[in-house]
Chain A
């Protein structure tokens, strides 16, 4: 029982930290541009594919040793995807910055569609086995099994989130990004480089998403061009749950979502005596999301501004 509890907790923490990495990208973009970036799930997918490509080049052509090649591939891939993210913002979202609220969101849907099919054309639509980024060793802890992979993912995700925390709260770049997210016109009046801040967000978000993608692909040992869709939706749910626009909220939401999912999978059939099986896990996820939004539309840690006080930009 205790062992099972520990094991499920670690499972939830692992998947939750991957969700958190992706949710951060959604929430940062929303914070700065008030835009839902539907193409963010594809950054997650790109991360896995780019890392795979870099890794096979390093090992095959350069003949680099395993552990170093893995680290290099990880770093190169996340930075590459970060630059891709900046490029996409320039081409597909920047021209729409003064347009309606809906326009950049729909443009991001176009980006998402293009990236998924582009990858299907380049790499084939079938799933590909992904090499493990960590040597897998099993540890028995009080009767539960924890793998070294899970520990590696937790450490990597924790380091990335901590770096983000310092970047946002302790650095000059972070101050600029927070200022733009607080009020873009005011930031502009104060001489802040708004475009630079937005580019920064579109660099860091995809970077973290790509890291999430690499960790996810190595955790499950598989990647496919469509892998971003479902995880993207989950991470997005997590961002909303925690309060979209809030960075700690995205992390909190991601872990809550992961615990609900893991707990739902384990407990739903037991509580309902088999009426609702584990397949209703996602229903539970969305039901919780809807309930939270109805009670607290701004999410758990979102700013509790009353709706009437916001001057809304026209949606359409």
Chain B
């Protein structure tokens, strides 16, 4: 029995207790994080970056129903935007917020550029073309030595600062990421409920019917690609700023696949699901660190098991954040 079913079956009072418990745990975790050792904060930072990536990719996969296997390309665009505009590489040192803006715009442009040719394709073919696109971006970064430093990457990136407040310690990034993740989550959640979101859902359920009732599927898909790429690119820029080093190794196909898995294991189309999926796929390997390779083997087997047992993910699509909040305040 799934979480939602058991919640629905339970009396309202107990479901309110569950919602309360979820919120209490979340707030306790957030409050406790700044007091953890730096290592753990870094792990939580990377968890938040993956959640942000998940929120971005979920717009294309979960809302619009298009399988994108090259999402990491947008992540790379963002990271390299920061690396090039705030490092000795080109001797540019722009402020962090400006770079975030540039990265967001570049992400959107790349998303549209990828979107235009692939819009005609569906299903598997779309997956393959996006996969190829992701690989092309990585190979180009890997070989454009004069600009990107090739496989060695770009090191000694500037410390980020927002309006004079320096953001360098893992804790600073934790707060920054928390704000960005909440904002992105809110935007994605509201978008899903907007007219555009309904057009996306129509495309996901039946593209021909969507076109039949007058939805401009081309524009709706382009919007999905652009929004998703923008979020991915912002995640990349923050990633670059927090690592202060970027190299093509961070943007492999495996990374794209990991984000897709996060979404699917957690629950496609659901922001709470992404958090659950990220927690399993990012935190579990960290928790089991002492078991070295065995943890990856375990992760692989767990993945198969979860997909067989719950092919639609741990958290059902219908159980969104609104349900959780609604439960807390009693309907």
Question: Chain A interface: which of B59-67, B76-84, B224-232?
Answer: B59-67
B133: A residues at CB distance < 8 A: 286, 290
Nearest-neighbor residue (CB-CB) of B269 within chain A: A316
Question: Chain A interface: which of B22-30, B92-100, B239-247, B306-314?
Answer: B306-314
Nearest-neighbor residue (CB-CB) of B268 within chain A: A316
Interface positions, chain B 99-130, Cβ under 8 Å from A, are 117, 120-125, 127-129
> B257 touching A109 by the CB < 8 A rule?
yes
A36: B residues at CB distance < 8 A: 124, 127
Q: Is the interface of B mostly helix, strand, loop or mixed?
A: helix
> A107 touching B121 by the CB < 8 A rule?
no
Q: Closest approach, in angstroms, between the C-beta of B91 and any C-beta of chain A? A: 24
Q: Closest approach, in angstroms, between the C-beta of B156 and any C-beta of chain A? A: 25
Q: Closest approach, in angstroms, between the C-beta of A121 and any C-beta of chain B? A: 5
CA–CA, A92 to B240, complex, Å? 37
B142, CB-defined interface residue at 8 Å: yes
Interface positions, chain B 296-320, Cβ under 8 Å from A, are 296-297, 299-304, 307-308, 311-312
Known A96-B308, A101-B123, A297-B120; contact A109-B303, beta-carbon cutoff 8 A: yes
Q: Closest approach, in angstroms, between the C-beta of A154 and any C-beta of chain B? A: 28
> A316 touching B61 by the CB < 8 A rule?
yes
> B135 touching A286 by the CB < 8 A rule?
yes
Q: Closest approach, in angstroms, between the C-beta of B324 and any C-beta of chain A? A: 22
> A110 touching B301 by the CB < 8 A rule?
yes
A274, CB-defined interface residue at 8 Å: no
Q: Pick from B127, B135, B308 the residue with the most CB of A within 10 Å.
A: B308
Interface positions, chain A 34-76, Cβ under 8 Å from B, are 34, 36
B208, CB-defined interface residue at 8 Å: yes
CA–CA, A193 to B117, complex, Å? 41
> B303 touching A283 by the CB < 8 A rule?
no
> A282 touching B260 by the CB < 8 A rule?
no
> B311 touching A100 by the CB < 8 A rule?
yes
CA–CA, A314 to B204, complex, Å? 8
A312: B residues at CB distance < 8 A: 122-123
> B300 touching A280 by the CB < 8 A rule?
no
Q: Mark A241-282, 1 if CB is under 8 A from B, else 0.
A: 000100000000000000000000000000000000101101
Q: Closest approach, in angstroms, between the C-beta of B329 and any C-beta of chain A? A: 31
A164, CB-defined interface residue at 8 Å: no
B299: A residues at CB distance < 8 A: 113
> B128 touching A289 by the CB < 8 A rule?
yes
> A95 touching B204 by the CB < 8 A rule?
no
B127: A residues at CB distance < 8 A: 36
B40, CB-defined interface residue at 8 Å: no
> A110 touching B307 by the CB < 8 A rule?
yes
Interface positions, chain A 86-111, Cβ under 8 Å from B, are 91-92, 95-96, 99-103, 106-107, 109-111
A236: B residues at CB distance < 8 A: 128
A190, CB-defined interface residue at 8 Å: no
Interface positions, chain B 7-61, Cβ under 8 Å from A, are 61
Known A120-B293, A286-B136, A294-B117; contact A113-B125, beta-carbon cutoff 8 A: no
Q: Closest approach, in angstroms, between the C-beta of B80 and any C-beta of chain A? A: 17
Nearest-neighbor residue (CB-CB) of A237 within chain B: B132
CA–CA, A304 to B82, complex, Å? 44
CA–CA, A287 to B135, complex, Å? 10
A307: B residues at CB distance < 8 A: 122
B205: A residues at CB distance < 8 A: 314
Nearest-neighbor residue (CB-CB) of A36 within chain B: B124
> A280 touching B311 by the CB < 8 A rule?
no
A244: B residues at CB distance < 8 A: 124
CA–CA, A106 to B264, complex, Å? 8
A140, CB-defined interface residue at 8 Å: no
Q: Mark A292-314, 1 if CB is under 8 A from B, else 0.
A: 01100100000000011000101
B261, CB-defined interface residue at 8 Å: yes
> B117 touching A290 by the CB < 8 A rule?
yes
B140, CB-defined interface residue at 8 Å: yes
CA–CA, A109 to B67, complex, Å? 15
> B123 touching A294 by the CB < 8 A rule?
no
A96: B residues at CB distance < 8 A: 307-308, 311
CA–CA, A198 to B247, complex, Å? 42
Candidates A121, A125, A308; contact of B297 at CB < 8 Å = A121
A293: B residues at CB distance < 8 A: 121, 125, 128-129
B2, CB-defined interface residue at 8 Å: no
> A282 touching B135 by the CB < 8 A rule?
yes
A188, CB-defined interface residue at 8 Å: no
Show 6 A/B contacts (Cβ-Cβ < 8 Å), sorted by A. Answer: A102-B264, A103-B264, A279-B139, A286-B133, A289-B132, A290-B133
Contact residues of B with A, CB < 8 Å? 61-62, 65, 67, 117, 120-125, 127-129, 132-133, 135-136, 139-140, 142-143, 204-205, 208, 253, 257, 260-261, 264, 268-269, 293-294, 296-297, 299-304, 307-308, 311-312
The 3 lowest CB-CB distance pairs between A and B, nearest first, are A114-B300, A110-B303, A113-B300
